[in-house]
Amino acid sequence: MTAYVNDSWTLTRRTLLHWRNQPAQLALGLFFPVMILLMFAYLFGGAMSVPGGGDYREFLLPGMFVLTMAFGLESTFQAVTTDVGRGVTDRFRTMPISSAAVLTGRSVADMLYAAAGLAVLIACGLAVGWRWHDGPVDAVLAVGLLLLLRYSLLWFGIWLALVAGKPEMLMAVQILVWPLAFLSSIFAAPETMPDWLGIVAEWNPLSATAAATRELFGNPGQGGALWPAIAWPVLLLTVFVPLAVRRYRRLT
């Protein structure tokens, strides 16, 4: 176990060193969600209404937090496929280290990146007038749900990258992520959509977390129970963690 922890930290530190040497790429990834937030809050916000009343910016922010967690799938995919394509993963596989440590190191680094991105977006939300209203405990629980969603999508991204094996497939992942993100309750309430589309949006895993975090933050919009926001990530982890480890061990 000690060797596994040390190996995992070494591989996590490798990614942190890459970010230190490429600060422009890191900053772009952190502030891209901020640009989208400002665009929707100020360009489109005046034309948007929230069912039941309330400020659209407060409705928007929990959805933007969820969107940031979903966008992390792309960075995970690109990093893993780059290592596979350049032969770095093959070199790791020849070393006397745990195969689980390679994937754990990647996941820990990406969770640190996700936490930093979420902190930047929360600070931006506070600057544009968003607030949480139900106390610090509920706010911390909401942040925990967001990071749980990110962790589950992270392992889906690792598995998808190991299957694809090519950084050029990133465009296909973006085609998957963007419709999934917009076909949800992130930017608009499902009640404002056609009936069949609203049902699809409500069953979106991103919508489950958005609804639960709106409820915990005390923001306007249709709230939701906690269990779907927990059940979806747990289901994803149950499926894709074993698949990712199995795929890594079977790489040729």
Query: What are the tens digits of pLDDT across the range 184-216?
Result: 888 888 888 888 888 888 888 999 999 999 999
Given the structure tokens 């506070």, which residue do they identify?
126
Residue 145 clears pLDDT 90, i.e. is over it = yes
Per-residue pLDDT, 151:
94
Q: Give residue-wise pLDDT tens across range 65-114.
A: 999 998 888 888 888 888 888 888 888 888 888 777 888 888 999 999 99
Q: Which of 32-41, 96-105, 152-161 has the highest mean pLDDT?
A: 152-161
Mean pLDDT of 43-61: 81
For the record, the structure tokens of 249 come out as 């061990």
Residue 135, CA distances (Å) to 139, 147, 217 in order: 6, 19, 8
Please write the tens of the pLDDT for every residue from 118-143. Answer: 999 999 999 988 999 888 999 999 99
Give 42's contacts (C-beta < 8 A, 6+ positions apart): none
Q: What percent of the chain has pLDDT over 70?
A: 99
- Please state whether the predicted TM-score (pTM) of the whole model is above 0.85: yes
Q: For the purposes of burial, counting CB atoms within 10 Å of the CB of 73, is it exposed (0-12), middle (13-18) or buried (19 or more)?
A: buried
> What's the CA gap between 226 and 169, in Å, rounded?
34
Band of pLDDT at residue 51, cut at 50, 70 and 90: confident
**In the prediction, which pLDDT does 41 show?**
85
Question: What's the number of CA atoms in the CB half-sphere (13 Å) around residue 193?
Answer: 17
Q: In angstroms, rounded to a whole number, what is the distance separating the alpha carbons of residues 177 and 68?
A: 11
Burial class from Cβ neighbours inside 10 Å (0-12, 13-18, 19+) for residue 42 reads: exposed
Instruction: Say how far apart CA 174 and CA 139 lie, in whole Å.
Output: 30
Average pLDDT, the chain: 87
Q: Name the percent of the chain lying above pLDDT 90.
A: 32
